[in-house]
């Protein structure tokens, strides 16, 4: 199921916007595609990010994948639990598996609604 209260990127990140802040993680689709996550690398708190910039890395038994900034922002918190328990990304991608919290500087125009993201998944499955 794709939560309707979130926004999504074409690279399979989700964004929960709360005023001028956002929480970012990878979608359920992404964690399934990755397989068992064994390592997560996150940016330092205070790091300034531009839309599309690599913000971190998720390593699984299958692959290493970059995570991209869905907005121009400043990192205000990271999910430190992932450093010792990276499998939270698989177990609860929209909850305990969140990755970073940011102050939004510019959202840009590329975020997808749940319906648009679902359509993207259907198109990619073809």
Domains, the chain: 7-125 (2.40.50.100)
The DSSP element (H or E) to which 61 belongs, if any, is none
Q: What is the largest CA-CA distance in the chain?
A: 40
Residue 1 pLDDT: 79
pLDDT 10s digits, 55-100 = 999 999 989 999 999 999 999 999 999 999 999 999 999 999 999 9
Sign of CA pseudo-dihedral 5, 7, 108, 79? positive
Residue 109: pLDDT above 80?
Answer: no
Q: How many residues does the chain have?
A: 126
The pLDDT, as a whole number, for residue 84 is 96
Strands 54-60 and 100-106: unpaired
- Phi, psi values for residue 16, rounded to 5°: -105, 110
Nearest 5 degrees, angle CA 101-CA 73-CA 117? 75
């Amino acid at each position: 199921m794709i939560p309707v209260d979130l926004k999504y990127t074409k690279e399979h990140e989700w964004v929960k916007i709360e005023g001028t802040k956002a929480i970012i993680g990878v979608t359920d689709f992404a964690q399934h595609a990755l397989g068992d996550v064994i390592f997560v690398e996150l940016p330092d708190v205070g790091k300034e990010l531009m839309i599309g910039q690599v913000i971190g890395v998720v390593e699984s038994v299958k692959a290493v994948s970059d995570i991209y900034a869905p907005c121009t922002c400043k990192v205000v918190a990271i999910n430190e639990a992932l450093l010792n328990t990276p499998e939270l990304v698989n177990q609860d991608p929209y909850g305990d598996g969140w990755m970073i919290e940011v102050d939004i500087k510019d959202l840009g125009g590329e975020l997808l609604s749940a319906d648009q993201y679902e359509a993207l998944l259907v198109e990619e499955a073809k």
